Structure 1
Amino acid sequence: MQSQEVSSAPHQQQPSVSLDHPEKTDGNYYSSSITSPSQHESDGELVDGKEGTAETNTAAASSVPPSQNQNATPDWAHGFRLFNIMAAVTFVSFLMLLDGTIIVAAVSRITDDFNSLNDIGWYGAVYQLGSAVFQPLTGKIYMKFKPKWTFLSFFALFELGSLICGVANSSGMLIGGRVIAGFGTSGMLNGAMIIIAESAPMHRRPTLIGMVMGIAQLGLASGPLFGGLLTQYATWRWCFYLNLPIGGLVAVMLVFVRIPQQHPRPPPMSVVRSIHSDLDLLGFSIFSPALIMLLLALQWGGTTFA
């Protein structure tokens, strides 16, 4: 009986043993776990699947812009590039506030040339009116489009309005030019703040913004002085021509410098397709006429409609 049990023992199926650690025999390492070919295939598929997932994740990570990667170092502007950006936005902010008060000393000469004493209040009011109407829309525009080209577009609109005012041959044409210039200013000051925020780290922004606004306020204070000098020794048209050469210098300074972009914007064509919802044009079309009517009532109240 014992011999039969011994002889039948090799034919019995032994349970598979799986060791966590490899065994060494004749200097070679091998695993004592026994696996079937199907298990190898499934393991291979699993490994391939893991590798595929890793490759997919790597490709997806590489496609993410550096600004979206939390571990990436922000691309702040330094040295001459930062100086160039700050000088450009400072000039623009200075011109914007200068243009609001430079016309004060030139109004009397303008009304004499055009015989338009009744329009004396409009030359300054429509400039602020055009800026106020577009203010709610400019913030959304900067969120959807690149700050550099958006800023230059608003500044080009301001320059166009200044050119129209300079060559105006009637009071109505001058008022129209002031409206266009006001449209441009609606995105200039807030655009300057956005460009500073994109170009400098948080701890440097208060100093840079203070410098820009301090110099810009000089334009607000010195506007009547410049207007009086130009009107007396040249012509009132130079109150508007003055913006053109400085504007050309600013455009050159910004076009050829790369402004950092910490927050990526969507492709322009995708914004154009959904511009109605992205920019809330319906809300803008409701808000703007209401604001215009309010400002007209304040302008005409007590004078035209007493």
Structure 2
Amino acid sequence: MRKVAVIVCVTSLCVTLFLGALDIVICITLYDTIGQEFNDYANVGWLMAGYNLPNALFMLLWGRIASLVGLKCSLMASIVIFEAGSLMAGAANSMGMLIGARVISGFGGSGIESLVYGVGTSIVEEKHRARVITVLGIAYMLAEGAGPFVGGGLAEHVSWRWCFYVNLPIGGVALAALGWGYNPAGRAPGRALARFWVRARAFPYGTLLQAQFWRRAAALMVFRLDIPGLALSSGGFALVMLALTFGGNQYAWRSATIVCMFVFGAALLALFMLYDFVVLPRVGARIAGYEPLPLVPWRLAANVPVLTSSLCGFFNCFAFELQSIYLVQYYQLVVNKGPTLASVHLWQMSLPALVSVIASAVVNERFGVVKPLVLAGVVMGFVGSGLLTLVRSDTTLGQSIGFSVLAGASFGCVYQLSLISAQLQVERDDPDFHARFIEVTSYNTFIKTLGFSFAGIVSTTVFTVSLKNLASSHSASVPSFSTVEDLIRYRSENFDGRNSLLGRLLAKSVRNVFYCALVCSALSFLFGLFTSKKRTDITKGAESTELAELCELAEPAEEKPVSKTPTSTLC
């Protein structure tokens, strides 16, 4: 029965993760379409960044929320929020509204990703973690496989808006899968709803009008959820990403606007670290009377093995996102394929990634090795990124596939092994093992998601600035355009072959993005060299977490009032 319960639980998590992954892949196919729709290609990178930035920032917060209201309730709430963002995105009538909707979706998607991986890797033995991550990875890759056909087909034959509306029925399936498939407390869905209704009726709503309630709520927001730290980090990252978006496009890199964005963004991030590392732990303990919970505690940030494995994953994800987005753009802009056919080329990277996910999981579970697999992944990433810089306007399909294989395989290997390497730094005899385990998992996933976030912005900036500079240097041979959007629209309406001057300029701009990915792969290799040598325990032993403990994750404790008894767990 225990094995059946784990299988049902993991299956429900896969359906949930499939929802978020499908949305990400579909959006990659829409860059050109939406850029032309709103005549704003320079900001189209925010389709991904607007989702990925809140997705990363709120990842550290969702576990805290789950400890207050229950894990299952938190997962279902994150899906509802994600669905609301998808509905708004489909109805958007401007780029600003669309980006705002993506931010809402990112908040919901953050809960999906952080809680799914945290629960999935905590309900099995240490030696089986790679297997669970592999199963979740397969769900992600299936979404990557379906995404190009779904996104491209809807964009070409129906409307790009349905690329977001399609999330609504899939989200309904995900909610049903969680409601009926994930019941770690052993209660039938009907009994769980009845219990929720009884508790809702018994809640003393009169306390909402009392000052004491709001004082406790404020203490909760500051000392346990670290909302001030979240505000500082969000503002800092947003300013830096805005500077990367506008720099070289709407403003010169040396302009006062861009310089101020970088300076104030860096200042806010510095204040965030000062607040979480020094101010909150020292001042908060005196005011609250108990140890506060920073989003990023110093003991975690100062853990070198956790940091190196997370940064290795960060730069690998950064490179993979750059390559995925502009491999599709290469086939749309240079070869002049439609969204559907261009997006199919994502398989050039996702299929090798799927193979490497499975292969590395088998090797890890059989031999317990982690660092050798990480090193193999970063070497493949560096070599594969170098091969992709060989792409030219006349590159054949066979050459393109050959260039992409190693880069895709690298991602599949490094993404899961960097997480396992970080998790192994939590000692099993630690009295707060479960809290530390979820904390490290959320931190590692947060860092890697930041890589995806910055890649969406940096890739668009590198491409548009490169294309502007190249077009201006060939102004005598290339028609004059006021914006990159006009040039891309002209190209699609007056296609003159992939080896024309404009085709070569577009190919060179894409190649510059791949050079950026090469630098990221080199940094991933560098940090990979310093990852931990710890191995997973492949001996048969007691499972890391009993199913009863998972029950505690799913339901908040009734006997311990949240406002009075602080918890040290993140999930």
What is aligned with 1:146? 70
The answer to whether the 8 Å contact 2:90/2:164 transfers is yes
Closer/same/farther in 2, CA of residues 112 and 303 from structure 1, 3 Å limit? closer
| 1:280 aligned onto 2:237 | no
Q: CA RMSD for the aligned pairs?
A: 2.9
Gaps of 5+ in 2: 186-198, 204-212, 253-571
Provide the C-alpha distance between the structure 2 equivalents of 1:148 and 1:197, rounded to a whole number of angstroms. 16
If each structure's helix is expressed as a fraction of its own residues, which one has the higher value? Answer: 2
What is aligned with 1:63? none
What is aligned with 1:291? 237
Closer/same/farther in 2, CA of residues 258 and 109 from structure 1, 3 Å limit? closer
Provide the C-alpha distance between the structure 2 equivalents of 1:107 and 1:197, rounded to a whole number of angstroms. 34
The SS at the match of 1:246 is helix
Q: Give the counterpart of 1:224 among 145, 148, 155.
A: 148
Shift of 1:198: 5.3
Shift of 1:222: 4.9
Q: Give the counterpart of 1:109 among 26, 33, 48.
A: 33
| 1:177 aligned onto 2:101 | yes
What is aligned with 2:184? 260
Provide the C-alpha distance between the structure 2 equivalents of 1:105 and 1:258, rounded to a whole number of angstroms. 32
Provide the C-alpha distance between the structure 2 equivalents of 1:305 and 1:218, rounded to a whole number of angstroms. 40
The SS at the match of 2:111 is coil
1:282 counterpart letter in structure 2: P
- The number of aligned residues is 225
| 1:93 aligned onto 2:17 | yes
Shift of 1:182: 0.9
Shift of 1:214: 2.6
| 1:305 aligned onto 2:251 | yes
Provide the C-alpha distance between the structure 2 equivalents of 1:240 and 1:153, rounded to a whole number of angstroms. 19
Provide the C-alpha distance between the structure 2 equivalents of 1:93 and 1:230, rounded to a whole number of angstroms. 22
Q: Give the counterpart of 2:172 among 248, 255, 258.
A: 248
The answer to whether the 8 Å contact 2:89/2:161 transfers is yes
What is aligned with 2:51? 127
Spell out, residue by residue over 1:172-224, the C-alpha distance to the aligned partner (whole angstroms, 9 max, x if none).
Answer: 22111111111111121121023324544545443222111232134245533
The answer to whether the 8 Å contact 2:89/2:164 transfers is yes
Within-5 A mapping of 1:154-165: 154-165=78-89
Spell out, residue by residue over 1:250-305, the C-alpha distance to the aligned partner (whole angstroms, 9 max, x if none).
Answer: 111212345337xxxxx999985633211122222222211211222222222222
Shift of 1:164: 0.8
Closer/same/farther in 2, CA of residues 252 and 282 from structure 1, 3 Å limit? same
The answer to whether the 8 Å contact 2:12/2:182 transfers is no
Shift of 1:113: 3.3
Computing the radius of gyration from Cα coordinates, the structure with the larger value is 1
The SS at the match of 1:302 is coil
Spell out, residue by residue over 1:90-146, the C-alpha distance to the aligned partner (whole angstroms, 9 max, x if none).
Answer: 122222222223123223332333343443232222111221232332233234441
Closer/same/farther in 2, CA of residues 296 and 136 from structure 1, 3 Å limit? farther
The SS at the match of 1:102 is helix
2:55 counterpart letter in structure 1: S
Spell out, residue by residue over 1:38-69, the C-alpha distance to the aligned partner (whole angstroms, 9 max, x if none).
Answer: xxxxxxxxxxxxxxxxxxxxxxxxxxxxxxxx
Q: Give the counterpart of 2:112 among 183, 188, 201.
A: 188
The answer to whether the 8 Å contact 1:77/1:260 transfers is no
What is aligned with 1:215? 139
Provide the C-alpha distance between the structure 2 equivalents of 1:205 and 1:231, rounded to a whole number of angstroms. 38
What is aligned with 1:239? 163
2:10 counterpart letter in structure 1: M
Provide the C-alpha distance between the structure 2 equivalents of 1:300 and 1:77, rounded to a whole number of angstroms. 54
The SS at the match of 2:14 is helix
What is aligned with 2:327? none
Provide the C-alpha distance between the structure 1 equivalents of 2:180 and 2:19, rounded to a whole number of angstroms. 21
The answer to whether the 8 Å contact 2:21/2:144 transfers is yes
Moved more, 197-206 or 182-191: 197-206
The answer to whether the 8 Å contact 2:40/2:95 transfers is yes
What is aligned with 2:460? none
The answer to whether the 8 Å contact 1:77/1:200 transfers is no
Q: Give the TM-score normalised by structure 2.
A: 0.36
Q: Give the TM-score normalised by structure 1.
A: 0.64
The alignment-based identity, stated in percent, is: 32
The SS at the match of 1:256 is helix
